[in-house]
Amino acid sequence: MWFAGDFELCLDACDTIAEADAATVAQVTLLRARALLRLNRADDALAVLDGYPWPEHGDEAVTARMLTGAAFIRANEIPRGLVLLDALQESALDAHPTIRSEIALNRALGHFCRREVDAADRALDAVSTEADIVYARALEYRGWIACARTKYALAASYFVAALEHLDACKHYDRYMEANCAQVLATLSVERLDLETWRIVVARRAKIDWSAHDIQRHRFWITLCAATYAYEVDGAEVVAVTEARYAETIAPIPAARVEALCRRAATAGRADERLAQRDHTGAAYDLFVTLDAERFENYDKFVPLILAKELAIAGRVEEAHRVFALYKAYPHTSPLLAVTGDPTRYGFEKLVEGFIAQAADRRTAAHHAYLDSFVTFRRIDYKRRAVHAALCLGWLLNEPELFDYADRTTRHLPAGSRLRQQVESIPTDVVVRRLSPSRRDVLHLLCQGLTVEEIATKRRRSAKTIANTVTVIYRAFNVRNRAELLTELLRRGIIKPA
C-alpha cells in the first residue's frame, strides 16, 4: 500500500497490527510516520514518533530522528528540522548508506524550503547512486531545484531521469512516479515540448491509478491532456473528452471548479459561446458554495483560473470579486513557494489583463499583458507567452509581438489551435491600423450581423456601432458593406464561401 501510493490504506493496515514483537512495532511506527508525512500531516507524524520509546543507537533510532527532522520541516519549523538533520548527518556515520542518503535528501528539502537552492543542491551530492528509490527522489528534487532557478528544460530532464531510475529500482514508489509525470505534463504543455509530452502519454498509460492518494495527479494530467489536445494537437473531440473526464474524476469540489473552467475554455476557443457560458456559470455557482480560505495548497490557483473565465465570459464584476479573493489568501506553503514563483506572477498579470480588457480599461490591460509577456518569455513558458503576446499585439498593433508568436509556434502541428490563432493574424496594413474594438466589429460585419445585432453582442449602442462601421468604411475607402466585402476579398483578408 505504501509503494502503491495509497497512504490512507497504509495507515489502516498499520492499525490492524495489534500484537507483535518490538522490532515489528518499531518498523510499523516508522511506516506510519512516513505515511502521515506523505499526507502532509506533519504534526500527527511528530506525535507518533514522539510516542515510541526509541533506543539510543541503531538504524531505527537514526531513522526516527531523521523523520522527526523531516516532520519539523514540513510543519514549517524549518530551522529546528535542519539543526536536527545536520547533527544527524555528522553523528550517524555507522548508519546504513541508504539511511544516510535519506538524511541528505531531507536536508536538501529543508534548504529548499528556505529558498537556499544552492545549499539544497549541495546537500543532494551526499545521496548515493546505490540508494535505490532515495536516489530517484534526489533526481526529482534536482528537478524542483532547476524549476526554482527557472531552468525548466533542465528540470524536465531531471524528472525524466528520476522516472527512468525508478523503473530500475527494486521497489516502486507510485506516488513519486505520479508526481514526476504531473510536473512533466505541466512543463511539456507550457513549453510546447512535443517530445516530453510523448513521454507523459506513455507514462500516463502505464501508471496504476487505483490508489486514492494519487488521484490529484491523475486529475491534473487529464487537465493538461485537454489543453494539449486542443491548443497543440488541434484534436477538438479529444480535448472535450479529456475536459469532461477531468470533471468526472475531480477529487474535491475545488478541483471540479477547475475542470469546469477547462470545459468553458475549450468551448470558448471552439466559438461555442453558449456552452462556454454554461460551464463558466456552473463553475462560479459551485465556487461560491466553497470556503476559498480553506483551500489546500494545490487549489489556491482555482480562484485565479475562474476569474479568467469569468472575464472572458463578460462577467466582469464577478471576475473582480473572485480575483480579489485570490489575492486575499496566502498562496502556498513554504514547501511549495520556493522562488516567488514567476509562473504564478505571470499568470496573475495575464488574468488582470483579461479582466481589465473586459472592463474596457485598455491602459491597465496593456500594462498587465506586458508584464505577463515579459515574465513568461524570460522563463521560456512558451504557451503563456504566446497568449500574452497575442493579447498585447492586438491592443498595440505591434508586429514584433506577432512575429514572436509566429516563431514560437512554427513547430506545432497544422491543426494546432494555437498555431491557427497565430496564422489568423492579419497581415493587411489597413486591418493592422484598426483598433482591436474596430477589428472586432469588422469581424462581425463579415459574419453578416446587422448593426443592431453587433450592438447587442458588444453591449454598445447602435449609434456607437454605426459610427464604428463608418470609420471602417473610410479606412478601406468604400461606401457600403457590399463594397467592403469586395475589397476584403480583393485583399485576401477573407475568402470566398
- In the chain, where the domains are located: 1-131, 427-497
CA distance 404 to 391: 13
What pLDDT sits at residue 172? 85
Q: What is the pTM of this model?
A: 0.85
All residues at 6 or more sequence positions from 233 whose CB lies less than 8 Å from its CB, including other chains: 413, 415, 416
Cell numbers of 373, please?
509577456
All residues at 6 or more sequence positions from 344 whose CB lies less than 8 Å from its CB, including other chains: 301, 331
CA distance to 23, 62, 82, 97, 399, per residue, from 55 (Å): 11, 9, 22, 20, 71
What pLDDT sits at residue 339? 40
286-322 in b/e form (b: 16+ CB < 10 A) is: ebeebebeebeebbbbbbbbbbbbbbbbebbebbbeb
Cell numbers of 443, please?
469581424
Task: Supply the DSSP symbol for 232.
Answer: I
CA distance to 320, 441, 465, per residue, from 460 (Å): 21, 11, 7
All residues at 6 or more sequence positions from 206 whose CB lies less than 8 Å from its CB, including other chains: none
All residues at 6 or more sequence positions from 441 whose CB lies less than 8 Å from its CB, including other chains: 454, 458, 465, 468, 469, 472
CA distance 375 to 394: 19
CA distance 259 to 237: 16
CATH topology of domain 427-497: Arc Repressor Mutant, subunit A (1.10.10)
Amino acid making up residue 344:
R
pLDDT by position in tens, the chain (length 497): 888 889 999 999 999 987 788 889 999 999 999 999 999 899 999 999 999 999 988 999 999 999 999 999 999 999 999 999 999 999 988 899 999 999 999 999 999 999 899 999 999 999 999 999 999 999 999 999 999 999 999 999 999 999 999 999 988 899 999 999 999 999 999 999 999 999 999 999 999 999 999 999 999 999 999 999 999 998 999 999 999 999 999 999 999 999 999 999 998 877 788 899 999 999 999 999 999 888 887 788 899 999 999 999 989 999 999 999 998 876 655 444 444 578 989 999 999 999 999 998 989 999 999 999 999 999 999 999 999 999 998 888 777 898 899 999 999 998 899 998 888 776 666 777 787 778 889 888 988 899 999 998 888 899 999 999 999 999 899 999 999 999 888 877 777 75
CA distance 395 to 64: 59
CA distance 455 to 469: 11
Half-sphere exposure of 172 (CA within 13 A, CB side): 13
Q: Would you tell me how many other CB atoms lie within 10 Å of the CB of residue 347?
A: 22
Judge: domain 1-131, CATH 1.25.40.10.
yes
CA distance 186 to 164: 19
Would you say 158 and 179 are in contact if contact means Cβ atoms under 8 Å apart?
no
